[in-house]
Chain A
Amino acid sequence: DIVLTQAPLSVSVTPGESASISCRSSKSLLSSKGITSLYWYLQKPGKSPQLLIYRMSNLASGVPDRFSGSGSETDFTLKISKVETEDVGVYYCAQFLEYPFTFGSGTKLEIK
């Protein structure tokens, strides 16, 4: 199985500052079609997960452009610029390249 390792486990951010979350894959997530199958989700407290970024760097519909995704074949970063209080929750990366699809263990974002 592909293992996704997220860092840090938690991050505390002052509103208006930026935050970055790392996700490292045990295997390249670049498909033969040239698509990098890495996704980012935010799960706000008590809510279902919501898609933020698909295929490494594409912003999902309705997601503020304060969120951005980047990376290589195995190392990925979610950046949140100008963090707002509504960004609190647990962030997960996930891969949909190979069965079984897998999630990272999550990074909790808190507001200072």
Chain B
Amino acid sequence: EVQLKESGPGLVQPSQTLSLTCTVSGFSLTDYSVHWVRQPPGKGLEWMGVMWSGGSTAYNSALKSRLSISRDTSKSQVFLKMNSLQTEDTAIYYCTRDTAYWGQGTLVTVSS
């Protein structure tokens, strides 16, 4: 069974760095891509970036200077790091395999 689960801090202070982990099971990261998508409370979906199966990455240009996606295939984990967080980065963060399978999402609140 394909599963994805996001984990990380629920609260981050402004200007700090967000680190999230997407732990997957039921498939190999070398066979499928994993995207990160976020959703501010009550708003729409925003594509953040992708770790392709071959190991390359692509980022939303609006976030590119702050965002980094990496992975550890041996642990079946994909990592998101975003620096200089502001209140407008408050959102539910999802990881998704090919957008066909989604994690439950994790709410990140940026506040002092």
Chain A residues within CB distance 8 Å of chain B = 1, 39, 41, 43, 48-51, 54, 60-61, 92, 94, 96, 99-106
List chain A residues, Cβ under 8 A from B47.
Answer: 94, 100-103
Q: A51-B100, A106-B44 are known contacts; what are 5 more A-B pairs with Cβ within 8 Å?
A: A1-B61, A48-B103, A92-B45, A100-B47, A105-B44
Q: Please give the number of chain B residues whose Cβ is less than 8 angstroms from any Cβ of chain A in the complex.
A: 20
Q: Interface SS of chain A: helix, strand, loop or mixed? A: loop
Q: Are A39 and B103 in contact (CB under 8 A)?
A: no
List chain A residues, Cβ under 8 A from B100.
Answer: 51, 54, 60-61
Chain B residues within CB distance 8 Å of chain A = 35, 37, 44-47, 50, 58-62, 94, 96, 99-100, 102-105
Task: List 24 A-B pairs, Cβ < 8 Å.
Answer: A1-B61, A41-B45, A41-B99, A43-B45, A48-B94, A48-B102, A49-B94, A50-B102, A51-B99, A51-B100, A94-B45, A94-B99, A96-B99, A99-B61, A100-B47, A100-B61, A101-B35, A101-B50, A101-B60, A102-B47, A103-B45, A104-B44, A105-B44, A106-B45
